[in-house]
């Protein structure tokens, strides 16, 4: 296990160096910079150059690169170019919000999608096509709904019509009740697509297992259908489901960008989009590292879970 963790750590370091270097130089190859993004219609020429000076954009590229690494090695994420605020502080404030939304979505998804997918597989196995088709069809429709559309629909219905959730307001972990109220709609929107995807994967995986000999054997022992389904069939179909859960967490981090915009949530997705739009190199570089770390961690955890579920799995 230690060898495995060590190998993963080396992969993480190499990945991070590669990602930082790639992002650092490609960002600067793109035309336009933070100064021109900020100045918009109003500045040009000498005035724009003054702004560049102030932002440190006229420093030699290699000097900027080495400065960035020197700071990063002591976990100093520097200051954002456009606001002058500590990038580390901004990320520390934003990350828990996005991670909470992603985790809550995963929990809701697992709680809904696995029973639904298993049920659909069971119905299909028993030849009850009607209800299976209904669940599968609904999953496909939900899967295809873009989150910006679902988001607006949920806002209109749950916030404006029913008045259940606010459309705006602060999002702070210091007030858990209000926090949950504010993230409820984003979680619901993200869950729609995730439930649909995971229910379909679960159905396929469980359906495949239900035809196996050991399931027939379990039934012949007189065990209840529920026990056979959830204790034996689902457990043996778990590998692809765990893979999807791991991948979902990654895709959710990306997916939150849109819902954070619609629901006015100040998470890391919002920081990233703002950073890219304003060419805030410092912020984008930092966030890419954070994303890379999260993805590598997810993969690491997923690998560990694989091993727990199926001891035959080796790395």
Partner 1 sequence: MTATRRDFLSGVLASTAASALSAGTARTASAQASTLRVRFYDDPAGFDPSNIFRIENENIAFNIFSGLTTYDSTSGKIVPDLAESWENKSNKVWSFKLRRGVKWQKNYGEFTSADVVYTYNRIVDPKTSSPYAAEFGNVESVEAPDPYTVVFTLKTPDGNFLHQVANYHQGQIVNKKAIEDAGDRVRWNPVGTGPYYLDFIDVNSRIILKRHADYFRGPAPIETLYFQIIKDESTATIALRNGEIDLIMRSNREENLDILAKAGFTLNKVDNYAALVRVVNPATNRALADVRVRHALAHAIDWEAVCKATGAQLQAPAHSLLLPWMDAYSPNVPRYEFDQARARKLLADAGAARGLVVRQLGTAAQGVTEIQQFEIDFLSQVGVTMRMELVDTPTFNQRRNRAEFELSSRLLPAVNPDTILFSYLHPSNAAPRGLNGARYDNPKVTSLLESARAEVDPAARKAMYVELQKIALTDMFYQPLYTSNVVWPGKKNVVGVRINYLAQVNFHEVSFA
Q: Where along the sequence are the contacts to partner 1 (CB under 8 A)?
A: 30-34, 36-48, 50-51, 53-54, 82-85, 90, 93-94, 152, 155-156, 159-160, 163, 166-171, 261-264, 266, 270, 274, 277-279
Task: Give 88 or 266: the residue with its C-beta nearer to partner 1.
Answer: 266
Q: How far is the CB of 211 from partner 1 (least distance, A)?
A: 48
Tell me the C-alpha distance between 118 and 133, whole Å: 13
| Listed residue (82, 30, 28) closest to 55, CA to CA | 82
Nearer to partner 1, 81 or 120 (CB): 81
Task: Report the alpha-carbon distance of residue 52 to residue 35 in Å, rounded.
Answer: 6
Q: Which is nearer to partner 1, 102 or 244 (CB)?
A: 102
- Minimum distance, C-beta of residue 53 to partner 1, in the bound complex (Å): 5
Which string of DSSP letters, residue by residue, matches 91-105? Answer: HHHHHHHHHHHHHHH
Q: How far is the CB of 51 from partner 1 (least distance, A)?
A: 5
Question: Which residue's CB is nearer to partner 1, number 22 or number 152?
Answer: 152
Residues 247, 101: Cα–Cα separation, whole Å: 15
Give least dist CB 163 to partner 1, A.
7
Nearer to partner 1, 130 or 146 (CB): 146
Question: Least CB distance from residue 66 to partner 1, whole Å?
Answer: 22
Whether the Cβ atoms of residue 241 and residue 195 lie closer than 8 Å to each other: no
CB of 55 to partner 1, least distance (A): 9
Alpha-carbon span 74 to 154, nearest angstrom: 44
Which residues are within 8 A (CB) of 81 and not within 5 positions of it... i.e. 6 or more apart? 34, 55, 56, 57, 278, 279, 280, 281, 282, 283
Among residues 203, 202, 230, the alpha carbon closest in space to that of 215 is found at 230
Q: Which is nearer to partner 1, 50 or 128 (CB)?
A: 50
């Amino acid at each position: 296990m230690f060898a495995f963790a060590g190998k993963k750590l080396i992969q993480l370091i190499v990945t991070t160096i590669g990602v930082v270097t790639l992002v650092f130089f490609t960002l600067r190859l793109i035309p336009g910079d933070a100064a021109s993004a900020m100045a918009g219609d109003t500045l040009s020429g000498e005035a724009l150059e003054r702004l560049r000076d102030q932002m440190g954009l006229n420093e030699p590229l290699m000097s900027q690169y080495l400065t960035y690494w020197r700071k990063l090695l002591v976990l100093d994420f520097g200051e954002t170019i456009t606001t002058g605020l500590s990038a580390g502080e901004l990320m520390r404030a934003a990350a828990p919000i996005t991670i909470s939304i992603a985790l809550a979505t995963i929990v809701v998804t697992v709680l809904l999608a696995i029973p639904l997918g298993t049920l659909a597989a069971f119905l299909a196995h028993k030849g009850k096509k009607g209800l299976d088709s209904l669940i599968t069809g609904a999953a496909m429709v939900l899967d295809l709904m873009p989150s910006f559309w679902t988001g607006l629909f949920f806002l209109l219905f749950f916030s404006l019509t029913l008045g259940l959730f606010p459309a705006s307001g602060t999002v702070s972990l210091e007030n858990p009740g209000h926090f949950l109220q504010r993230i409820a709609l984003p979680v619901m929107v993200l869950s729609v697509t995730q439930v649909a995807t995971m229910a379909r994967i679960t159905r396929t995986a469980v359906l495949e297992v239900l035809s196996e000999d050991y399931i027939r054997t379990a039934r012949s022992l007189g065990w209840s259908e529920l026990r056979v389904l959830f204790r034996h069939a689902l457990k043996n179909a778990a590998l692809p489901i765990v893979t999807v859960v791991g991948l979902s967490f990654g895709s959710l981090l990306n997916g939150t960008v849109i819902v954070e915009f619609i629901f006015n949530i100040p998470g890391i997705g919002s920081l990233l989009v703002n950073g890219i739009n304003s060419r805030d190199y410092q912020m984008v570089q930092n966030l890419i590292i954070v994303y890379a770390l999260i993805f590598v961690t997810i993969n690491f955890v997923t690998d560990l879970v694989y091993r727990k579920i199926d001891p035959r799995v080796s790395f």
